[in-house]
Chain A
Amino acid sequence: MDPIDTKDVMTDGTTLVSLVYDGGVMLGCDGKSASAVLIGNRMSDKLEPLHEHIYCQRTGVSAHTEAVARYARYFLDSHCAETGDLPLVETAASIIQKIFYENGKYLRGSMLVGGWDPVEGPQLFDVNKGAKISKKIAWNGSGSFVIIGYLDKNFKENMSKAEAFEFIKEAISLATYRDGSSGGSIRIVDITKDGRKRHYIPHNEKEIK
């Protein structure tokens, strides 16, 4: 059924966990990219900056999602050149949704879009197979399947920054513990109105390995 044979293409098996906390949005992901059983990149970066306050996360075929992110960045940049303002997170999500909906037959992958804008504050969108849904917590990727129960049980709205950080760290650690397609270090980006901050947790510093 697939238009091209994607069996040996580099994919981000991936665990993505993102959430909106009190005053910001935090996006977290693991760092393993694999072609079939071969780990192509053991410390890949699945967090793609789209704009100053907007990031997206990739899961699926790396080449596809990286291209989508590149296009989205370009569209968003030209959009901002016209408005002269910070873009809305919804605009970024809609651009990605449109690309996925119109080219869904050729693209294998999904994205989460999170960020902060001056109108609506911190927001998170799950852009999955051409659908776009606004959420307080979103996950995607093969690794997220093994931790959905953990996320459902432990997620609260309006967590503090420290709580959110620990939550994402533990969730991704648990996922990489069981999922073969996820693993390696954890990357987290924390976006608030003051800007964005990157965090990196090396694999050997995780509590659950």
Chain B
Amino acid sequence: MLDPTPKTAKDHPEISGGSTIGIKYDKGVLLAADTHLMYAGCYWYKDAQRIHKVADNCVIASSGDYADLQMLLKKLKDKNDYDIIAEDGHQHYEPKDYCKWLANVHFNKRMRVDPYYNSHIVAGVDSKSGDKFLGTVDVHGNNFEGNYVLTGIANYFCNAILDGNVTDDLTLEGARELMTKCFTVLYYKDKSQGDKIQYVTIDTDSNVNFEDPVTLESKWDYHFTKHLTNDHTRDVRFKN
């Protein structure tokens, strides 16, 4: 019997992660994401891994649907494994190629009106030339490169912080400081942003370092929040 119901695609991400940010610094690439996954308006998973290693010299950070991400990671692993076991003397994928490949997969799926609800940051170092790579892929299959790239709501909040500040001689400390600033702003303004941030660095020698998540420091003791309350502005007479 034919299925009477039309095939409908998932129209929004279910379990989803927030923004991710990637910055190039002088000796490598810095990536960061929080460790929260949201489901049904709840911080459902508080210690999820949002940044994944896909090859020895390539890392991706993803926002959006986690189920789709797990499927993509499986595809990436299959692809990577196949390239390795083929032993055909051909070059393996470089970060740039992974970025393009992901963009193609995304474009293909969205043209079937069943997109992967993810946007990724692909970061890595070319194993031949040692060039840093930092690119982004979005749900439609667009892909861009840049000195810094953003996914999710960070696109609205963090361009102003990063634009012009990501220079060729930016140190790791400088990059980390900028990143912390971005995540603090996001933590203040984006409800899906958690305060536990995981940093990952890839340096030009292809050393990938997954750091333990750190808690963001945020400021809450402004003068106006403490002293200028409604009591001062409302027309109410207090006895003392």
Contacts and interface: CB of A to CB of B under 8 A. Distances in A.
Interface of A: 1, 3-4, 97, 100-101, 104-106, 128-133, 145, 148
A148 B42 contact: yes
A91 to B, nearest CB: 15
Nearest to B67: A130
Interface of B: 5-11, 14-15, 39-40, 42, 44-45, 48, 65-68, 70-71
Nearest to A145: B42
Nearest to A3: B5
A105 B9 contact: yes
Given A101-B71, A128-B39, 11 more contacts: A3-B6, A97-B70, A100-B67, A104-B67, A128-B15, A128-B44, A131-B14, A131-B65, A131-B67, A132-B70, A145-B42
Contacts of B48: 133
A1 B71 CA distance: 24
Contact of A131 (B7, B10, B11, B70): B70
Contacts of B7: 105
A101 B14 CA distance: 12
**For A1, A3, A100, A130, which residue has the most chain B Cβ atoms within 10 angstroms?**
A130
29 contacts: A1-B8, A1-B11, A3-B5, A3-B6, A4-B5, A97-B70, A100-B67, A101-B71, A104-B10, A105-B8, A105-B10, A128-B14, A128-B44, A129-B14, A129-B15, A129-B67, A130-B67, A130-B68, A130-B70, A131-B14, A131-B15, A131-B65, A131-B66, A131-B67, A131-B70, A133-B48, A133-B66, A145-B42, A148-B42
A148 B7 CA distance: 35
Contact of A133 (B10, B11, B45, B71): B45
Nearest to B6: A3
Contact of B39 (A1, A105, A129): A129
Nearest to B48: A133
A31 to B, nearest CB: 23
Contacts of A145: 40, 42
A106 B8 CA distance: 9
Contacts of A3: 5-6, 8
Contacts of B45: 133
Contacts of A4: 5
Nearest to A130: B67
Contacts of B11: 1
A145 B65 CA distance: 21
A101 B117 CA distance: 13
Nearest to A135: B45
A70 to B, nearest CB: 20
A208 to B, nearest CB: 23
A133 B39 CA distance: 13
A129 B40 CA distance: 11
Contacts of B68: 130
A101 B8 contact: no
**For A3, A106, A128, A131, which residue has the most chain B Cβ atoms within 10 angstroms?**
A131
A4 B66 CA distance: 25
A4 B39 CA distance: 23
Given A1-B11, A131-B15, A148-B42, A101 B5 contact: no
B32 to A, nearest CB: 21
Contacts of A97: 70
A168 B227 CA distance: 44
A23 B125 CA distance: 43
Nearest to A104: B10
Contacts of A100: 67
Contacts of B8: 1, 3, 105
B114 to A, nearest CB: 9
A4 to B, nearest CB: 7
Nearest to A148: B42
Contacts of B10: 104-105
B240 to A, nearest CB: 37
Q: Which 3 A-B pairs have the closest CB atoms?
A: A130-B67, A129-B14, A131-B67
